[in-house]
Structure 1
Amino acid sequence: MEVIVDNNMNLTVYGFYQKQGYDEEKSVAVATFIEVCFSGAGMMVGGHIHRGITCFTGEIAFLPFGMSHDELYRQLHDRATFHSLSGRAVTSLIAIMNPETIALTGSLVDSGDVDIIRQESLKYIPEMHMPKLRLLEHPDED
């Protein structure tokens, strides 16, 4: 039996990718927005987990949002500012990796948020470059 030990976001995106049954290598991401945590992402680039040189890939809470981490945390947990911030994080993933799909997950995201976050991203990203955005309700299954 093969066993893989990695961080939770890398394993989530790996499982999500495997369940899609792609015929060719694709790039996908899973972005998580969880209560009492900062945002993070897992990325598959060309069919392989992307970790980066120091395994810092996916730490989207460190994007330059122009505010302290305390303020970022507060605003991510505020429904009035959540969509704008999560949309900018998704926009950054799109601009950097141009994925086929981004799955959104975490207790701060519900099904109604996906289209709002898509609209926030479309403020910056042309429609032709927008990936599929979808809700991943049960990431532990992946």
Structure 2
Amino acid sequence: MTDYTQYFDEVIQAHVAIEQWLAEERDAAELEHLLMRFSPQFSMVSPLGRVLDFAALNELFLLAGGKKLGFRIELSELCGLALHDTGATVSYREQQTDATGLHSDRRSTVVFEKVDGRILWRHLHETFCKE
């Protein structure tokens, strides 16, 4: 049996931090702590196909901090895809809602890398669900 627990825990903990950052006024030091979860070489493909790097992710969080009142993230369907000495690849489903009733549903795949014992987000690919 392959144990993905530490990677699933990171997905959950990161999304709690993201939810708090976006939904509430937070201290700027919390953004720095949040960004420490991501590799400096981080890359992402957004649900609309936009490609982001670490600098773009930083800017996105900086601009959106505290601006999504009532924002909530619900995770499900965590699944381990590949596990190796230097990291793992996992997928999950993410549903987002905010106080206005805006709802999105996406499937995500994340590639994690382990650096000095720390789990870092290296690449994230999100796709909107139509169901």
Shorter-chain TM band: under 0.3
Compute the TM-score of the two structures, normalised by the length of structure 1: 0.26
Compute the TM-score of the two structures, normalised by the length of structure 2: 0.27
* Structure with the largest fraction of strand: 2
